[in-house]
Amino acid sequence: MAAMASPTTSTILSTLLLFLMHLNTSPATAFYLPGSYPHRYLPGEALAAKNSSAALFLCRTDPVSPAAADLIKSRIDDAYHVNLLLDTLPVVRYVNNPIAPEVLLRSTGFPVGVRADDGEYYVYNHLRLTVLVNKQKNGTTRVEALMATADASELISLSGGGGGGGGYTVVGFEVVPCSVEHDEAAIGDKKMYDGFSSKAAAGCDPSVVGMRVQANRPLAFSYEVAFVEGAVEWPSRWDAYLEMGGAQVHWFSILNSIVVVAFLAAIVLVILLRTVRRDLAQYEELGSEAAPHADDMAGWKLVAGDAFREPSHPVLLCVMVGDGVRILGMGMVTILFAALGFMSPASRGALVSGMLCLYLVLGLAAGYTSVRLWKTVRHGDSAGWKAVAWRASFVFPGVGFSVFTALNCVLWHNGSTGAVPFALFVVLILLWFFVSVPLTLAGGLLASRVRGHVEYPVKTNKIARQVPAAQCSPLSGPVSAALYVGYSLLMALAVMLATGAVGLAASFCFVYCLFSTVKLD
């Protein structure tokens, strides 16, 4: 037995050593596509570029009601943030790191306000915006060469028109929010975008607050813009957003986890292989005299007649495995495209749209896998494959759509901007019925016409072995809770189906190969 296990052990250790050597190689550099072309400005289009401005008046609200004041205070306590976009770039805010003051912490957006040490609430009503631009010399040959399009020739021109010579591209967007109390006399008759003189705004300091949230008092908002020329080129403007602080610490934790999992998996694999080899060796040593008593032995032979017995709900099993293959394929292809740079952060919604399209197209794989497994369970009989394919088209998509609809109704009821409009619901239903369902049925039809099926290596007993029932204990909730539970349910179900498909494939191959080796005669 030691001679039999030694090659396997050495092979596993060699493979593990090669894996660890591979982890020691230099890491690859990721790449992403910019996701959009530089904006093309038409001749005569009004555009204020490279014109830094002082304080500009934006608007003034009506006197804030007590209910509105309480709502603003609650939003401040809940750390609500404001997100701004400029040329698809989210606004970035830099704050000092309390642990390392020389290091700045970067985050997108800015908070609605702040609660001071005295317990009063202050709103950020003045924004100091900084637009980072990059000057394109000699026309825009650099951007045109990188993007391979003539649209890059129409950038922010120095003369205010489109085309002709160099221009500027937006490569960054930063904000410093301040809470300032404006002089009512200075903004009394101002209109939107009118300039005004404000000493409080000129000395914008985030650490000094002035605009207190009070009932029956209006709030005045203003901003200022500064254009700063930088060396960052347009195709690399997303690098600052994609950088992750403390990457070395994260990589160390990831590699540490991988090594631990690899060692544990190797130990379990060695123990399992030795156990199986020992059992198989004992069966081979049985002579003809011990053959009549072989049925009384414990081990793999004891469950050989029930290993491939048809489950109590075969249709549900086939449907779940098919949907698991679809979700697993969707995740793998999405990760592949994201690694290649096609899922650009500049293309807002590209990730969700890509996953949805892949899920619809991979209905072909779901139907094929479900019906193929159905034929295996039925020993080559494809009768009833239509019911399996139909259920594969509606079970998990129906559950997901129902949960999504219920959560969206909750968002509608609360007037949230995150609610999906009704028109998009109609589009999703049309895609489901006219793309996903036909592809799933086509996959099932293809699997039903494929000749042959996976034949079991052992025969199944007519009388099932009695298995004791498992003892299961019964398990016994506003808007945030509903969203959390709903989306958690969808994610858990999706992960269950994806990992379940892999688990079934691994278990089936293991049991199939095992009983192909066991001699029962």
Query: In the prediction, which pLDDT does 161 show?
Result: 42
Residue 343's pLDDT is 75
Whole-number Å distance between alpha carbons of 173 and 223: 14
Query: Of residues 54 and 276, which shows the higher confidence score?
Result: 276
Mean pLDDT lowest among 208-217, 279-288, 459-468? 279-288
Cα 431 to Cα 437: distance, rounded to the nearest angstrom? 9
Tell me whether residue 283 is exposed, middle or buried, using C-beta atoms within 10 angstroms of its C-beta: 0 to 12, 13 to 18, 19 or more.
Answer: middle
Residue 140 has what pLDDT?
A: 44
Asked if 397 and 475 touch (Cβ cutoff 8 Å), the reply is no
336-356 per-position pLDDT tens digit: 888 787 777 667 778 888 889
Structure confidence at residue 222 (pLDDT): 85
**Separation CA 336–CA 338 (nearest Å):** 5
Q: What is the per-residue DSSP string for 151-163?
A: GGGS-EETTSSSS
Q: What is the pLDDT of residue 151?
A: 40
pLDDT in tens, 51-85: 566 677 788 888 889 999 999 899 888 888 888 88
Instruction: Please give the full DSSP string across 408-460, using - where no structure is assigned.
Output: HHHHHHTT-TTSPPHHHHHHHHHHIIIIIHHHHHHHHHHHHHS---PPPSSPP
Residue 80's CB is within 10 A of a number of other CB atoms, namely 13
Among 191-200, 431-440, 472-481, the least confident range: 472-481
Please check the confidence at residue 296 and state whether its pLDDT lies above 80: no
Asked if pLDDT for residue 476 goes beyond 80, the answer is no
How many Å apart are CA 22 and CA 217, to the nearest integer? 65
Answer yes or no: are the C-beta atoms of 154 and 162 closer than 8 Å.
yes
| C-alpha distance across the termini of the chain, in Å | 24
11 confidence band (pLDDT: 50, 70, 90): low
- Cβ–Cβ under 8 Å, residues 318 and 384: no
pLDDT of 367 above 90: yes
Q: What phi, psi does 259 have (nearest 5°)?
A: -65, -45
pLDDT band of 319, cuts 50, 70, 90? very high
pLDDT band at 229 (very low <50, low <70, confident <90, very high): confident
Of 83-87, 97-101, 245-249, 341-345, highest mean pLDDT? 83-87
Amino acid at position 410, single letter: V
Nearest to 497 by CA among 396, 391, 399, 405: 396
Q: Give CA angle at 358 (357, 359), nearest 5°.
A: 90
Separation of CA 131 from chain center: 29
| pLDDT-derived band at 366, boundaries 50, 70, 90 | very high
Tokens of 520: 């029962």
pLDDT of residue 370: 92
How is residue 194 annotated by DSSP? -
Q: What is the mean pLDDT of residues 208-218?
A: 83
Note the pLDDT of residue 145.
Answer: 43
3-state helix, strand, coil in the chain (%, to 5): 50, 15, 35
pLDDT (tens digit per residue) in 377-436 = 887 888 889 999 999 999 888 888 898 888 888 888 887 777 888 888 889 899 999 999
Query: ∠ CA 284-286-289 to the nearest 5 degrees?
Result: 150
Whether this prediction's pTM lies above 0.75 is answered by no
In this predicted structure, the answer to whether residue 20 has a pLDDT above a threshold of 50 is: no
> What's the confidence (pLDDT) of residue 135?
79
Contacts with 329 (C-beta within 8 Å, 6 or more apart), sequence order:
358, 362, 365
Sort strands 110-111 and 81-82 into parallel, antiparallel or unpaired. antiparallel
Residue type for position 379 = H
Is pLDDT at 227 greater than 70 in this prediction? yes
User: Could you tell me which of 179, 152, 493 has the C-alpha nearest to residue 320?
Assistant: 493
Range of 1-10, 42-51, 496-505 with top mean pLDDT: 496-505
Write down the pLDDT at residue 142: 46
DSSP lists the bridge partners of residue 169 as 134
Name, of 11-25, 266-280, 425-439, 502-516, the range with top average pLDDT.
425-439
**pLDDT value of residue 394:** 92
Q: Which of 92-96, 256-260, 302-306, 453-457 has the lowest mean pLDDT?
A: 302-306
Q: What is the pLDDT of residue 15?
A: 53
| pLDDT at site 508 | 81
Q: Which amino acid is at 475?
A: L
Beta carbons of 90 and 241 less than 8 angstroms apart: yes
Q: Which of 206-210, 285-289, 341-345, 491-495 has the lowest mean pLDDT?
A: 285-289
Record the tokens describing residue 24, joined without a space. Answer: 């020691």
For the cut 70, the answer to whether the pLDDT of residue 326 exceeds it is yes
Q: Tell me: the pLDDT tens digits for 126-152?
A: 888 888 888 776 544 444 444 333 343
pLDDT at position 216? 86
pLDDT band at 46 (very low <50, low <70, confident <90, very high): low
Chain mean pLDDT for the chain = 76
Average pLDDT over residues 25-41: 51
* Residue 148: predicted pLDDT: 38
pLDDT at 442 over 90: yes
